[in-house]
């Protein structure tokens, strides 16, 4: 009996889990692998899974899907919308949603495995399927690598993966070279001197220090980066204080930095450090700020030859015009760690999850930014079909292109 992929997706969407907490999700995946009779190991890098399909001599192709949700409260209004709450690493209760489409990634991968298992007489080689946790923390791939996934399973000749995105359904976006930006997650603690809100002159106010720092950080991209280059400096979180009449001792900022290469990373990081330290000094801080890097993600770089080959395969399978160059995405991914550590090519592509008619209408009206929710939005929800069946087909075509015939 064929797996009901729509039901699988709806179930996963209703039950998202935060990074490194994907225990129920892993259980659903392993249940489907058991139904398909596929060899696997679980608990790799805490909540990761790797499965193997061996089918004679031939190349080794790794396919990867990520599995975690986000601390976002869903506002899609879907009948199967998530109402789940979880606890983040700080111990705070938060809403949880599959706001980045990883539920779609899992479902498409299960569907592709099913098709490839049923057509083993048409290809040869070895498939390794990686269900990776904690992509949203930028830590899951390295956790699986540290747990020996590259040694415990056949080494890849190529790593392949895909991501659902707000392109029209039926569209595939892929480009050679840098497909996604490198990024760092920074935590900046500004140290002030606390006191009574009625006596600000006796304190060093970290809230004011934080406000000045945030505003000055925005000048990095607008005034210190060549307009022809790409860089992003986002302050996504600020925390300070507990009461209106207490000036707190510290303020914490969490930053997301994005850049296309290591040279740009060095430049942006140096500018961030300069501004953070200078604003603290200007505020009279008696202790220098503490800057820590929570995670670092390399640029996602698609191999030129493999990408050209895959574009041709997609065009042949789905028709000319299906594949577009989406440009470099300033979002970041950790999938490339698998290819980098193994020293093999990577191809990572995007596939559309928006109703094509709705996208065309928004495009004609010039309202795409307003009317088409992006990944990480509380309104992000790929149209279930044909997004899911397209995702399955993409993976099958890609895997068979690089396997033996």
Which DSSP letter does residue 273 get? H
User: Of 387, 345, 348, 312, which is closest to residue 111 (Cα–Cα)?
Assistant: 387
Q: Which long-range contacts (CB under 8 A, 24 or more apart) does 24-30 make?
A: 25/67, 25/68, 25/106, 26/67, 26/131, 26/133, 29/67, 29/106, 29/110, 29/131
User: Whole-angstrom Cα distance, residue 241 to residue 246?
Assistant: 7
Q: Residue 121's CB: how many other CB atoms inside 10 A?
A: 7
Which DSSP letter does residue 174 get? -
User: Whole-angstrom Cα distance, residue 378 to residue 188?
Assistant: 27
pLDDT in tens, 322-346: 999 999 999 999 999 999 999 999 9
Give the pLDDT of residue 182: 94
Give the pLDDT of residue 235: 97
**For residue 75, pLDDT beyond 80:** yes
| Percent above pLDDT 70 for the chain | 100
Q: What angle do CA 79, 166, 297 make, to 5 degrees?
A: 110
**For residue 189, pLDDT beyond 90:** yes
**For residue 60, pLDDT beyond 80:** yes
Residue range 225-245: mean pLDDT, rounded: 95
Relative orientation angle of helices 102-118 and 23-36, to the nearest 10 degrees? 10
Give the pLDDT of residue 295: 87
Q: Which two tokens stand for residue 39?
A: 């060899």
Number of Cα atoms under 13 Å in the Cβ half of residue 42 = 15
Give the pLDDT of residue 346: 98
Going from the C-alpha of 383 to that of each of 78, 204, 371, the distances in angstroms are 11, 51, 14
Give the pLDDT of residue 262: 85
**For residue 1, pLDDT beyond 80:** no
pLDDT in tens, 5-28: 999 999 999 999 999 999 999 999
pLDDT in tens, 93-106: 999 999 999 999 99
Hey, what domains does the chain have and what are their CATH numbers? Answer: 5-181+299-402 (3.40.630.10), 183-296 (3.30.70.360)
Out of 30-34, 116-120, 123-127, 261-265, pick the least confident.
Answer: 261-265
Task: Give the strand order in the sheet containing 232-239.
Answer: 232-239, 250-259, 182-191, 290-297
Give the pLDDT of residue 405: 84
pLDDT in tens, 352-367: 999 999 999 999 999 9
Give the pLDDT of residue 161: 98
**For residue 164, pLDDT beyond 90:** yes
Q: What average pLDDT is seen over the chain?
A: 96
Report the phi/psi class of residue 373: left, alpha or beta, with left for phi > 0 and alpha for psi in -120 to 50.
Answer: beta
Q: Residue 166's CB: how many other CB atoms inside 10 A?
A: 19
pLDDT band at 90 (very low <50, low <70, confident <90, very high): confident
Provide φ and ψ at 22, rounded to 5°. Answer: -80, 50
pLDDT in tens, 273-304: 999 999 999 999 999 999 999 988 999 999 99
User: Whole-angstrom Cα distance, residue 136 to residue 61?
Assistant: 24
Check: CB of residue 303 under 8 Å from CB of residue 345. yes
Q: What angle do CA 65, 71, 77 make, to 5 degrees?
A: 90
Going from the C-alpha of 330 to that of each of 260, 293, 300, 325, 339, the distances in angstroms are 8, 19, 10, 14, 20
Write down the residue that tokens 């670092």 correspond to. 296
């Amino acid at each position: 009996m064929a797996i009901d992929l729509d039901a699988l997706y709806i179930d996963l969407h209703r039950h998202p889990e935060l990074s490194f907490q994907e225990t129920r999700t892993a259980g659903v995946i392993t249940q489907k692998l058991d139904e398909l009779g596929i060899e696997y190991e679980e608990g790799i890098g805490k909540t990761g899974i790797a499965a193997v399909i061996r089918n004679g001599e031939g190349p080794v192709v790794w396919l990867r899907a990520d599995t975690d949700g986000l601390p976002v409260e869903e506002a899609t209004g879907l009948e199967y919308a998530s109402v789940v709450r979880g606890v983040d690493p700080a111990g705070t209760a938060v809403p949880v949603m599959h706001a980045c489409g990883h539920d779609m990634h899992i479902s498409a991968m299960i569907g592709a495995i099913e098709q490839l298992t049923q057509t083993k007489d048409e290809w040869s080689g070895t498939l390794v399927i990686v269900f990776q946790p904690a992509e949203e923390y930028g830590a899951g791939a390295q956790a699986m690598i540290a747990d020996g996934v590259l040694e415990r399973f056949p080494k890849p000749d190529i790593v392949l993966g895909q991501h659902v995105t707000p392109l029209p359904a039926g569209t595939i976006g892929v480009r050679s070279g840098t497909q996604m930006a490198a990024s760092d997650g920074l935590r900046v603690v500004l140290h002030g001197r606390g006191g009574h809100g009625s006596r600000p002159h006796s304190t060093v106010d970290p809230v004011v220090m934080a406000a000045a720092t945030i505003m000055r950080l925005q000048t990095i991209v607008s005034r210190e980066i060549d307009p022809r280059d790409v860089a992003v400096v986002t302050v996504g979180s600020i925390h300070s204080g507990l009461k209106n009449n207490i000036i707190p001792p510290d303020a914490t900022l969490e930053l997301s930095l994005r850049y296309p290469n290591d040279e740009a990373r060095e430049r942006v990081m140096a500018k961030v450090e300069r501004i953070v330290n200078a604003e603290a000094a200007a505020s009279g801080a008696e202790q220098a700020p503490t800057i820590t890097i929570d995670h670092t993600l390399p640029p996602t770089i698609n191999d030129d030859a493999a990408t050209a080959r895959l574009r041709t395969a997609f065009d042949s399978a789905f028709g000319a015009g299906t594949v577009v160059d989406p440009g470099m995405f300033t979002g970041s991914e950790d999938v490339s760690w698998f290819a980098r550590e193994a020293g093999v090519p990577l191809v990572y592509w995007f596939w559309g999850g928006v109703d094509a008619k709705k996208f065309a209408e928004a495009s004609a009206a010039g309202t795409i930014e307003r009317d088409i929710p992006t990944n990480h939005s509380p309104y992000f929800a790929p149209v279930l079909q044909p997004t899911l069946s397209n995702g399955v087909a993409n993976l099958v075509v890609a895997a068979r292109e690089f396997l033996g015939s």
